[in-house]
Every structure is written in C-alpha cells, then in structure tokens.
Structure 1
Amino acid sequence: MRIDVLMFDGVAEVDALTTYAVFATARRRGFEVDPHLVTADGATEVVGCYGTTFGGLVPWSPESARVLAVSGGWILEEIERGVIPRQLAEAKAIGGPELVLAGIDSGALFLGAAGLIGGRPATTHRQDLDRLKEWAEVVDARIVDDGDLVTCGSGWFAGTDLAYWLLERELGSPADVVALEQWIGRDRQGTVWRRGLS
C-alpha cells in the first residue's frame, strides 16, 4: 500500500514527520506499506514552517497511492495563492475513489479549499474549526473517518493517531497495530468518528 505524505514550503514539520515515521516504522516491522515524502510539483527540496530544509523528496503518485496525507503548516497564504488546492483537486481526479485523502491537523483546510470536502464530516486544528465550516460538517473528534476522506484534529501528534488508524483500517490487523503502537511508545488519544457508527 503506497502512502504519499505531501511536503511543501511552509509544511508543519511535526505533522508530516510524525505521520511518516509511523508508516516508515510499520514498513520496517513487516507491514505491507510503502511510505514516501512527496511534492506535487516534483521539487526535491522544501523548507518547513520552522525553517527545516527537507531534501531527497520525490514526485507524488496519485495514480498508484492508496493514501495522500496532507499536512498542516502555515497554509493560509498557500490557500489564497490557490496552487496547492488546485494540485490536490487534480490528484484526486487522477486517483479517483480509491485514493484516500488524509488531512493532518490544518491540512484539512487545503482539502476544503480544493473542493474535496463538499459538506462532508471533517475535523481540523481546533483554532480552525470555524474556518472549516465553510466547507465541511465539522465534527470535533480526534479522527473523523468518512471513507475516502479521513481527517484528524489538533495537536503535534494527531498525525500519529491518524497513521495508526489508517493502518488498522486499511490492513485489518488491529493486534499488529497495537504492537506497533507499543513499540513506538505513544498510546493513541481521542476518539474515531465514523459515519453511521457515532
């Protein structure tokens, strides 16, 4: 299962790397996952919101990825510019219903601005919940799972919880994910909201 974690200038380092680290650790422990740090425009280097330079990045692959994880960061200027939202809409058009969009923290706002939420249930960083109402039925939960749209709420480690959930949901092996969680040493927090189950 290919998982692309989107990197861009201004990306929140913690959002992207904690999410990626769970998937990369899962791969090392034998899970059938193939995570990548990617860019939409083929850039091999970006600078995060706290000034960290990331190199060795690869182009995303919406035609073959199962999950496209979109981190938060300093994104309001990017939303106003419109480039990343347009790229995300194009990626979803290529990936179709098989491509799961995962909004990490304020990354959900990118998905909303791209027209990819369309009134569906979603969550984001608590300070951005009112802004998210423009595009979503806001649910204040740690993780909101609406099929091919999965979003997570506030906190530096929300992406960790999102990654645990996606591994459990997609691979169908809760016991293995619990063992991974214990090996990483960070217990999950909050609740998972799913349509029809909450």
Structure 2
Amino acid sequence: MRIDIHMYDGVAEVDALTTYAVFANAARRGLAVEPHLVTADGATEVTGCYGTRFGGLERWSPETARVLAVSGGWILEEIERGVIPRQLAEAKAIGGDNLILAGIDSGTLLLGAAGLLQGRPATTHRVDLDRLKEWAEVVDARVVDDGDLVTCGSGWFAGVDLACWLLERELGANPEIVALEQWIGRDRQGTVWRR
C-alpha cells in the first residue's frame, strides 16, 4: 500500500513526520506499506513552517498511491493562492475512488478549499472548526472516517492516530499496531467517528 505524504513550503513538520514515522515503522515490521514524502510539482526540497529543510522528495503518484496524506501548516496563504487546492483536486480526479484522502490537522482545510469535502463529515484543528464549516459537515472527533476521506483533529500526535487507524482499517494489523503504540510510548487517543 503506497502512502504519499504531501510536502510543501510551510508544511507543519510534526504533522508530516509523525505520520510518516508510523507508516515507516510499520513497513519495518513487515506490513505492506510504502510511505513516501512527496510534492505535487516534483520539487525535491521544501522548507517547513519552522524552517526545517527537507530534501530528497519525490513527485506524488495519485494513480498508484492508496493514501494521499495532507499535512497542516501555514496554509491560509496557500488557500488564498489556490495552487495546492487545485493540485489536490487534480490528484483526486486521477486517483478516483481508490485514493484515500487523509487530512492531518489543518491539512483538512486544504482539502476543503479544493472542493473535496462538500457535504461530507470531516474534522480539523480545533481552532479551525468554524472555518471548516464553509466546506464540510464538521464533526468534533479525533478521527473522522468517511470511506475515501479520513481526517484527524488537533495536536502534534493527531497524525499518529490517523496513521494507526488507517493501518487497522486497511490491513487489519492489530497486533502490529499495539506493538507500534508500545514502541512510540503512546496509545491512540479519542474515538474514530464513522457514518
């Protein structure tokens, strides 16, 4: 299962890397996951919202990825520019029903700006719940699962909870997830909301 984690200038380092770390650790445990740090435009380097430079990035692959995870960050400027929302809409059109969109924290707002949340339940960082109402049916839950759309709420470990849920849902990997939680030193938080 290919998992693309979208990187862009201003991405929240912790959103992207904690999510990536869960999937990478799962791969080391023998689960059938391939996490990739990717960009939409093929840029090989971006700078995170706290100034961390990331290199060695690759172009995303919505035609073969099972999951496209969109991290939060300094996104209001990106919503205003409209480039990333347009790219996300194009990625979903290419990936179709096979591509699961995963909004991590405020990354869900980028999916909303892309027109991908209309009438669907979703969550985001608590301070952005009112803003999310413009695009989605807001559910104040840790993880909201609506099939090919999975979003998670606030906090530095929200991406961990989302990644663990996707591993459980897609691979049924309960023993491995328990081992992952023990390795991380943190159990998942909150309840997964499903329709």
Shorter-normalised TM range: over 0.9
How far does the alpha carbon of each residue in 1:20-71 deviate from its partner, in whole angstroms, 9 at most, with x for none? 0000011011110000000000000000000000000000000000000000
Q: In structure 1, what is the Cα distance between the partners aligned to 2:58 and 2:141?
A: 32
1:119 matched to 2:119: yes
Does 2:48 match 1:84?
A: no
**Contact 2:29–2:176 (Cα < 8 Å) also in 1:** no
Residue identity matched to 2:102: A
Between 103-112 and 177-186, the greater mean CA deviation after superposition: 177-186
Task: Determine what percentage of the aligned residue pairs are the same residue.
Answer: 85
| 2:57 maps to amino acid | L
Aligned residues: 195
| CA RMSD after TM alignment | 0.6
TM-score (norm 1): 0.97
1:1-198 map, 5 Å = 1-195=1-195
CA distance, structure 2, for counterparts of residue 5 and residue 187 of structure 1: 22
Structure 2 unmatched ranges of 5 or more:
none
Query: 4+ residue runs of structure 1 moved beyond 3 angstroms?
Result: none
Q: How many Å separate the matches in 1 of 2:180 and 2:156?
A: 19
Distance 1:117 1:8 in 2: 21
Structure 1: how far apart are the matches of 2:173 and 2:20?
19
* Counterpart-to-counterpart distance in 1, 2:178 and 2:119: 33
